[in-house]
Structure 1
Amino acid sequence: MIEIKLTIDNALQLLIERMKFELRIRQKSGIIKKGLRLEDLSYNETLKLVESSVNDYVFLLPMEIILSKTNLVSIITTTVRTLGRALRKEEFLLFSQRQTRNLVDPIRKFLINETRANSFLKN
């Protein structure tokens, strides 16, 4: 098992940074009203930002980390729960490892399929 050494505070900073970026993009495209901050959004809107931000960061990780057995799911789950405290949204305290796996597993399966397809082409 590969252990990712990342503090929850650092992971939270990365997540909030990416969520703010996603928020600006959605405000420019008219999906979310301009002038709103992360704290002003509803739980559902914030959850969508969390999910897209987590997906972005998982795709930025090296393939070896995504495909190997790691503590990635645990880090993401704990970070999202901590985000709930930071944004004062208690619903995020119920964010589960199952929800995190639902975000990470499709990416993992996609990369596995792509790796198989590419290795077949090289033979």
Structure 2
Amino acid sequence: MIELKITNSAALLLLTERMKMEFEKRKSFVKSMNWHELEMMSYPEILEIAECSAIDLISMLPADILLEKNNLDEILYRAIKSLSGVFNKEEFSIYSLEQARVLVRKIESIFEIYTKDSDFNYN
């Protein structure tokens, strides 16, 4: 098992910075919507951006980490729960470890499928 050593505050910082980038991208692509500040959005909207940002961050990790048993789901779980303090949305405190596992598992399965294809060995 690969145990990633990252503090919750560092994980939270990475996630919130990536969320800000994702929010700015969405604002530039969809000009017809009435965009307000990220902090003023509803819980489902912020959660969607948070999970999208988490997928971005996880997919940037080396494939070796994703192919081995790891503790990414626990790190993600703690970071997303901590968003309740950042955005003053108590709903984040009910985010479950199972939701984080499902999110991480989606990315891991993509990497597993990709590594079964031997074509990538010749790149």
Unpaired runs of 5+ residues, structure 1, are none
Q: How does 1:50-65 map to 2 (within 5 A)?
A: 50-65=50-65
Percentage identity across paired residues of the two chains? 37
* Aligned residue number for residue 49 of structure 1: 49
Is residue 110 from structure 1 mapped to residue 110 from structure 2 by the alignment?
yes
Rounded to whole Å, the distance in 2 between the matches of 1:121 and 1:108 is: 18
TM-score (norm: length of structure 2)? 0.90
TM-score (norm: length of structure 1)? 0.90
**Pairs aligned (count):** 121
RMSD: 1.7
Unpaired runs of 5+ residues, structure 2, are none
Question: What SS does the corresponding residue of 2:2 show, helix, strand or coil?
Answer: coil
Question: What SS does the corresponding residue of 2:70 show, helix, strand or coil?
Answer: coil
Is residue 81 from structure 1 mapped to residue 73 from structure 2 by the alignment?
no
**CA deviation digits over 1:25-46, x for unaligned, max 9?**
1111127534x22210101110
- Counterparts in 2 of 1:119 and 1:45: CA distance versus 1, 3 Å: same
* Aligned residue number for residue 15 of structure 1: 15
Question: What SS does the corresponding residue of 1:33 show, helix, strand or coil?
Answer: coil
User: How far off is 1:2 after superposition?
Assistant: 1.3
- Counterparts in 2 of 1:23 and 1:74: CA distance versus 1, 3 Å: same
- Counterparts in 2 of 1:120 and 1:76: CA distance versus 1, 3 Å: closer
Question: What SS does the corresponding residue of 2:117 show, helix, strand or coil?
Answer: helix
Q: After TM superposition, which residue ranges in structure 1, 4 or more long, deviate above 4 angstroms?
A: 119-122
